[in-house]
A = this chain, B = another copy of it.
């Protein structure tokens, strides 16, 4: 038994090393440098060895995407330590954009259209759930009844992604993008609260009239 377990351990180790090497190349040299031969060279193997661990390049890249989302979730959960709900949302937005700025290439691959939408959805689910919960407690805290929590979630997610994108699509730097994200979040939440209180007022007037 000992020998096959050792083999399995070595196999798993190589698997891990390939992912690490790929991640390193991606982060330091960008997606164009991320070739199978390069990765194989970095782990001191020939190219075909990579295919014993991953069906194809896409599968390997998907692992990097998953890794990226786990990393992002960690950040998110750190921000969730914050006691105050409003500050928590603000920090979450800020950290999201900061992540995009600190790992630009990884972030770009995480959100590349080439990645299958279902797969991306799968690996991003935990982060989406965390956002959903956060948004839920926020709405409870401010007595704001959101018409559709999922839609509100998507709106926030999309907004943050769009503004984070500005960091590399335009020449808006990351610091500025972070400020923009906080402002946008602030405006949206304020808007939702304004709408909610307007609805309340409308309902009250109807009751009285």
Contacts and interface: CB of A to CB of B under 8 A. Distances in A.
Interface of A: 108, 111, 113, 117-118, 120-121, 151, 154-155, 157-166, 168-172, 176-177, 179-180, 183-184, 186-195
A156 to B, nearest CB: 9
Nearest to A32: B114
A170 B113 contact: no
Copies of this chain present in the complex amount to 2
Contact of A159 (B168, B184, B189): B184
Nearest to A193: B194
Contact of A117 (B158, B170, B180, B188): B170
A194 B165 CA distance: 27
A168 B117 contact: yes
Name which of A160, A164, A184, A194 has the most chain B CB atoms within 10 A of its CB.
A184
Contact of A169 (B117, B183, B193): B117
A113 B171 CA distance: 12
A155 B161 contact: no
A194 B190 contact: yes
